Structure formats: structure tokens, C-alpha cells
Structure 1
Amino acid sequence: MKKISLQIKLLAVFTVTMLVPIMAMLYIFSQCNDIFAKRGVIVAIRNIISRADAGRSYGKTLSYEEIEAMPLEAFDKANYKPTAIKLEDHEELEDLEDYKEEIVSLTPEEIAAKAILEKNVTKMTIEELKIEKQRQLDEAERKITIQAQLAENLDNFALDNRDSIAKFDDALKDLEVYVYIFNLVIWVFLAIAGVFLFIVMNHMAMPVKDVVLKLKSFQNDNSGNGQIDLFECAISFDNFLNTARTLLRESYSISLELAKKLEPLTSISVFSDENVKQFFTDVQEISRSSNYIANTLESTTDHIQEVSASAQTIADRSQEAAADSAETAAIAGDGKTAVSETIDKMESIKDEVLGLEDVIDNLNYAGKEISEIVNTITNIAYQTNLLALNAAIEAARAGEHGHGFTVVAGEVRKLAEESGEAAEDIDKKIKEMLLKTGKAVETINRGASKVIEGVNIANVAGNNLDKIVASVANVNRMIQDISTASKEQSQNIDSLRGSIESISGATKITSEGTKRVASAVNEQLSHIRQYMATTRELLTLVQMMGEMLDKFNLNH
């Protein structure tokens, strides 16, 4: 069950306390309304108002003479503003004599009424108006008569409303009882409010005592006589503030020191992140170049296989070069094994990719040798084509006896043309491979300063590949010694295919190694970034802590 808070309890008690006097006042007002209704006070007041309106109506029916004779006090008491007479305004008349004649022609009553009703009447003396004194006496008598008549009317008005006034007086006496009750309710309400205030103050003092005890407990202060007042509360709170200021000062100093320690770590992390990013970019570039070289070598191998299929008949006749080709294949196998050992060693170190420079240089050298071999094959194919052409010419001269030789010469020429075309395709692929190899060498040279540990194994691989190149050179010299173009062509094709397969295998292994290195570098980069993010968050928290501590006044 949810506990009701102290504020809600106090609000409920205060609301109930306020409802009691409010209900009492509403009851008194309802009783007053009943008194006025039952005793006819409201009706009596309405009668008085209606008779007063009748008196005002009576004042409006007075004649000009009566209005002229009434004193100004009578106008004020009756709240009467005469509007019965509307004489013309003569302010704009230029001829004052005409205006005087008009005034003289009026009766004294009209002149008096004009004087009362018009504020802008011209001030004229009796001599100027030539009014007789007897007429003035008549006017005075008339005024006295009107005043007496007004006094009699007022006396009758008072007699007529005597009963209403008596009812109103009785109602006021009854209201005095409710006024006493209302005062009693007010005093009772004040007493209840005083008790409520005492209870509230006592209830508020209890949390203050708890606060003082908790402050002393926080400060390990057991002093005091058990009586807690506001002065002791202030002392305890002041001691608590001093302790809190000390703690905040120490926290502020620690946060500043921690911020100083974290700033160099942030800059170091940023520098490491940039270096790892650059190294990761170089490794990716090497991997892309290796993949392209491998794809190019595979395409070149396909073309070589086509050439080998076309020259199979000629290769069968090249028995003398078979042994040397086997030796070349064995040497290429040894080179492949050495390259495999190189890759295994490179996996154990982060900077193993640097050994690829020598391998790719050897590949570049082997590619150039292969290009020379292809040129030789092209020349041999060209020479074979010429020989076939000459043989065809000679067969044509021989006539029917040379018909069979003509067919053979045509086939040889066809094979020579196909060999030439295949050699040209191989030459294009080799040139593209050399171009990409050059780019790979440039990429490796950018990171060559970081490579040290894998040099020895790479040298072994280079020596083995040099043996391959030497073997290919021996094959080349052997082919040059062969008398027939077909045997030379077959031997060169076999040597070329073995070399390219070895290079392709080495390139694939190199590509896989660079991918593993790139994966490891990427993982290390993610760890560095995570470390940087953690460092920044910690530095931000320290700065926020410093800003929060700056809000406190720690100088007192």
C-alpha cells in the first residue's frame, strides 16, 4: 500500500478546517436571505424606490414659475435636472441691443427659468431689465409657497414609508444574532488554526531533529545534550558544509590530475590510429594487386593450355627437352615450397607483407624472361610460317609428287599462325602483368621502411625463383639448339606453363597472406578505436565532473 505523504495530509486537514467556517458563512447568508424574504424587507425597499421615482416624476410636472422658485438644494435632493424649457442660444448674436430687447420682452418667470436652465445667460442687472420691485416681491412670495409645498410632500413621503423602515429595522435586529454567531465562528476558526499551526510546527521540528542527528552521525560527532534547537542545527549544517567543501576540493584536484593524464593518451591513440589506417590501406592495395596478378596468370594459363593443345603433336617429338622440363618442374616445386615457408613465417609477424617486394621483383624479372620467350616463340612461329610457305612453293613446283608435302606444309603453317596468335595474347597478358607488378612494387616500396624480419625467408624464395629463371634460360638455350621449330616451340610452351603455374600459386598464397594480415590489422584498428572511444568518454566524464565541481563555492 502506497504511503500518503506529509504534504497531502496537511492539505487535507487544512481543507477540512477551511470548510467549517465557509459552511457556517453560507448558512448565515441563507438565513439572512430568509429574513429579508419573510419580513418583506425587499418589497419595502422596492416601495421606497418606487415612491422616490414618483417624487421625481412630481418634480418634473412643476410649472416654470415653481421651477424658478425652487432653491438649488431642492434640485440636488430630488436629483432633478430640468429639461422642460429649451430657449434659443443667443451667444452668436452680434447685436447686443436686440438681445436686450428680447430679454425685456420676457416675463420675470421666463427670465428666472432661463437663468436656471442656461449657464451662458447674459448677466444683466435689474435696472438694465427695468423690472419693478413689486414684481420681485411677488417672486419671493412664490418661492416661499413652493418650498412649503415641497416640505409637505417630503413629510407625506416619510409617513408613507414608516412601515417599511420599521420592517427594515426589525430585520437588522435579527441580523445582529447572526453577526454574533459569525464572530463566534471566526474565533473558533482562529483557535483551530492556532492548534493546527502548533501541530504543524511540532511535526516540522521532528525532521529537523532527524537531519541534525544524521549530520552528526555523518561527521562522527557524538557531542550534545540530547536537546536539539535551530542553533545547534545551524552549527551541524555548517560543519557538514565544511566537510563537503573539503571532499569537493579533493575531488576537484583528482579530476584535474586525471584530465592531465588522459590528454596525452588521447593524442597517442590518434597517432596510432592514423598509422594503422595507413598500413591497412597499403596492405589492401597489395592484396588487390596480388589478386589481379593471380587472375591475369590464370587467364594466361588458359591461353597457354590452348597453345599446348595446338602444339601437342610437335611437343611429342621434343623428347630431348622432356628431362630438362621435368627438372624445371622440380625446381619450380622447390620454389613453391620455399614461398610457402615464406608465407608461414609472415603469418607469425605483423609486418610479414614486406617480404613480397623481393617476390614481386622476381615475378617481374620472370615476366620479362617470359616475354623474351614469347618473342622467341613469335619469331619461331614467323620463321615456321616462312618455311611452310617456302615448302608450299616448292611442293607446287614439284606438281603432283609434292601434293602430300603441300598438305603437310599447310598444316604446319596453320599451326605456326595459331602459335603466333597465342604468343601475341600471351605477350599482352605478360605486359599487363608487368604493369600491375610495377604498381604492386610501388605500393610495397611505400611501406618498405617498416619491413625487416621477413627478409631472410624472402631471399630463400628469391634464390629458388632465380633457379626457376636459370632453368628457363637453359630451356631457352636448349630450344635454340633444336633444329626443328616444332620441338623448340613445345619445349618453350611447357617451360612457360610451368613457370606461370608456379608464379600463379605463389601469387595466390601471397594474396591469402595479405588478406590475413589485413584482417589482423583491421581487428587491431577496431581495438585502437575502442580504446580511443573509452579514453574520450573517460576524459568527458572527468571534464563534466570538473564543471559540476566548479558550480560549488570551494573558497570558504
Structure 2
Amino acid sequence: MNNKKKTKKKKFFTFTIRKKLILSFLFILLIPSITIGLSSYINAYNNIKEKIQLSSSENIQVIDKFITSFIDPKLNDAAYYANHFNQNSFSSTNRQMTIEDLIEYQSLHPESVTAFVGSEEGEFILYPNHKMPDGYDARKRDWYTLAKAASGRTIVTEPYKDAFTGDILVTVAHALEDGTGVFGIDLSLEALRSLTEGIKIGNKGYPVILSADGNYLVHPEFEPGTKAEGSWVQPVLEMIEGRVSDQENQFDFATNGKTGLKIAGVMALDEVNQDAKPILMTTVWIVGLFILVGVILTYFVIQSITKPLDELVTATEKVSEGDLTQTFKWKNNDEISRLGMSFNQMVASLHELIQSVEEKAELLAASSEQLMASAEQNNMATEQIVEAIQEVASGTEKQSSMVEESNGIVKNMAKEMEVMIGHSQTVRHTSLEAAASISNGNDAIQLTTQQMSSIHQTIAKLGTVVEDLRKRSIDINQIIDVISGIADQTNLLALNAAIEAARAGEHGRGFAVVADEVRKLAEQSSKSTETIRELISSIQIDTSDAVESMNKGSVEIEKGMELVQSAGGAFREIKQFIDEVNAEIQVMSASINEASAGTEQVVGIVKGIENIALKTTSDSQNVSGATEEQLASMEEITASASSLAYMAEELKGVIGKFKM
């Protein structure tokens, strides 16, 4: 179970050409699409944010200019009247004039709430006139102490709530030139509030004005004078201008140079996201549609690459199993088509090669069978020769015995003439039988000679066939070298394609994968040709062994032919001797009546017959030994022919694995 899981896992992580192409196209489709989509969304988000920030900055500038235009004249007014009033302005004679000056100022500047002047003696004149609380001392008020400490500069107080109207006011004050008091103007911030109420920063944003102490002067939700809180407040108070953010809002702020007021534009961060969301959705739809179209096109492109490769791999696997009927058909004129043509040429060359080897193997098998049949016939003929020689030897022994008897008879010829005549007839009869046996032996030797010559011719033909087979093997090796060269060239082309793909970078990655698969197919072709080369080498070794065996058989046959010819000569001599014996016996029969006169001649003839018989016995033994050697040689030839037939069957079995 674990092995199956491991196998499935291994197959899953095996990167085929299809997987590599899919991954490559996915990267090509997804990365640019997602990058473009994200870039579009981020650009839109940043543009919206920049527009809101620009609006915030512009509004801050407007408010800052308004505050400056609103406060700056009052600063000049305060400086002017501080120079206009002096200690005499508080005297009883000039008091009314001071009040009239304040009335005139108020009539000219209705935006001012109150104009007033206080002295070091505690006197306090203001218009419009309000009843001041009991114990009111202007000298203890912030506007008075700050102006006195400002060393001739006009000051603007922190916003405060007016005791009479309840409005938020600021006081612009300047110490009198003679140092006897302070002139001041109370200003309402309602005009500033009215201005900011009409200002929007984006759809949700708004402007905020803070005092230098961090109190709200203008805020759509908080009352003036409320202490501002949040992580953004402290950076705003510490810096002159800048931008800070918290979790919900972004604050662009600046400081009014005349008053020190902090003007901030508040931008809601979620507003930017909401405004950019439709753009994001539109981008997602467009990118999704683009990816869908790309996936469809990618599917057809990958199919056009992997389908012919799968067919070529299937055909290659079947060829490696021995099926040479496979062909690759691809109509497109591309690299795969050229690879398929090379594959078809390789299969055709293998088909011709195997067919040629098969024909030679069949011819070798037929020649081996013929050689075995001839060897068997030769064995039978040799056995007949052996039997004939044994009969000759037996007759020769009988002849020797009879010659000895004849010798005794000759010695007693005078006494036993009649017995000698009988024995002479027996000798003549035996001599005739020996002549007949020798004639049969001579015929067998002639037959053996013819058969040995036929075997010698067959072996010569077989040697020619085996030599042709060896030459065909050399031709096959040359074809294999050509195929190997094609495989090496294909491998080189695949390497060049991989290099060009690497130069192409990301766009060439898919072609690098195809080049790598082509290289693998070339390596498989090279391995297949190497296997065939080893098979042909084995065939060449077997044919060399067969040639060696046939050469040995040819030598042995030549030796056997020489021995048989020698035996034939011996038989001819024996026949000649037997004929002479017959002639002598006839002479002896004719001369029996003259036995008395020719006894000595008969004794000499008998001695000659005895010598001939001894020589015949010796020659028969020599012929018998030579025949036995020939029989052993024929057995070796039979064994060699059997081995050659076995090798031919093995070769046919190997060739039979190929389907043609």
C-alpha cells in the first residue's frame, strides 16, 4: 500500500512535457495578468488617494489663507491702536474719546466681537460695553500678561468660551507703546466654522482646526475647546506640517504662521478602498476573461505539442519491443514532423536490416541441416567401409592359415597329391571370396570419397554464406553508425534549441522543455542502436565460431579424403595381389599333374603367397585404423553442424522477436 502511494506521489511530482508546458503557460498568463490587475488597482487606489490628499492640501491652504486674511488685519489693527492709545487715554478727559475710538473701530470691523483697552492701574474700557463680573481684573487675564511679555509683538490667545455670548473667541492683543496697558480685540471663530462647514475632503473627510495646546477650534463632531485625543494629535502639535495616520483616518496638517493654529484635513481611509473597489472588480473581471481565453488557447497549443509526442513515444516503445510495423504520421511541417521522418527512416532501416539477417539465418539453418544430413550419410558409408575392412581382415587371416596348410601340403605333395588338389581348390575359392570382398571395399571407398567431396563442397558453400553474413553484419554496423550519428545530431540540435531557449529567458522556457524531451528521445535512440550493435557483435562472434568450426571440419574432411584415397590404393594393391594369387592357383592347378617335377616351384609360390597374405593383413589393419580416424572426424563434423544449426535457430529466435 505504501509503495503504491509512493509511486503515485512520484508520478505526481514527475514533470512531464505536458506539466511543464501547463506550468509555463500558467506563469505566462497569471503573472502578467495578476501584475497588471494589481498595478491597475494600486494605481487607481493611489490616484484616488492622491486626489483626496490634493483636495485636503488645497483646503488646508484655503483655510490657512482665510485665517491669515482674517487675523492678519487684526494684528495690524492691534499694533496700530497700541501705538495710538497711551496712559492719557484712561484719564477722565480722554476716556470718552477712547470709547469713541473703540466704537468707530467696531463699526468699521463688525466681525470683531469686542474692542478694549486695559491699564496698569486696573482700568478697563471696552465696546460694546458689558458689565464685568465682580473682582474682574484685566491685568490677570491671559491676553494681558501674554501681551506684556511679548516685548512689543502682537499675540493671539488660545481659543476660549465667551462669558457673555458663549461663543468661542480668540483675543488679539498688543501692549501699549508706553507700556501702561494693553489693547485687545475679541474675534469670534464662527466665520471660520462657517467656512469649514462647506469644505469636504473626499466624501467623508472634513477639516479640523486645533489650538497650539491641542484643543479643537473647529470640528464637525466636537465642541470648540474640547481636548483632541488620539495617536495623531501629538505629532501634529510637534511638527509644523506633515502627514500622520491612525487606523481609520489620514491627517494632512499645516501650521498657520500668524496664529500658530493647526489646520488638518481628515481623510477616511475606507473611502479610498470603497472608491477603488469598482475598479478592482472591473479589473478582476477583465483579467479573469483574459486568463480564460489564454487557458483555452494554451490547451490547444499544448495539445498540438504533446499529442504528436505521445504518439511518437508510443511508437518508439512498440519498436523497442520488436514491432517494426510502426510509423509516425504528422501533417504539420515542424520540428516534430522532421523528428517523425527520422524515426520512420530509422524503423525502415531496422526493418531492412532484420529482414536481411533473417534471410541469412534461414540460409544458414538450411545449410546446417544439409551438412548434418551429409555427415550422417558419410558416417553410414564409413561404417560400411569398416565392416568391409573387417571382412577383408578376416579373409586375410583365413588365407594365411590356408597358406600355412598349403605349405605343409606342398612339402608332402608327393605323398598327398590328392589332398593338395582339394586344398588348392579351397585356396582358390577363398581367394575369389577375398577378391569379391576387396571389390566391395573398393566400391565403398569410392562412395566415401564422393560423399567426402560433397561434404567438402557443402562446407565451402556454407563458408561463403557465413562470410556473406559477416559482411552483412558489417553493413548493419555501418547503418547503426548512421543511426547513431542521427541520434547524436538530434541530441546536438536539442542542445542548441535549449541554449536558444535559455537566451529567450522566460518566453523560451516552454521550448527548453520541448528541446529537453527531444534530447531524451535522441538518447533513447542512441541506446537502442547500441543494443542492436551488441546483438550484431554477438552474431559476428557466432559466425566467426561457425567459420572456425567449418574450417576445422574442412581440414578433417581433407584428411579423411586422403586416408580414404590411401585405403583405395591399398585395396587396389590387395586386389592386384589376389588376382596374382588366383593366377598362381590356376597355374598350380594346371601343374598338379606335374607336381613331382614342379614341387620346388610350388614351394616358392606358396612362400610368395604367404608374404602377400602378411602384407595384405598389414594393409588391412592400416586401412581399418584410417577408417576409424575418418569416422571420428565425421562425428566431429556432425557435432559442428549440429552446433551451427543450433546457433542458426537461436538467431532466428532473436529475429522472431521483431514484428515486420
Q: Is the structural similarity TM-score above 0.5?
A: no
TM-score by length of 2: 0.27
Greater relative contact order (Cα 8 A, min sep 6): structure 1 or 2?
1
Greater per-residue strand proportion: 2
TM-score (norm 1): 0.31
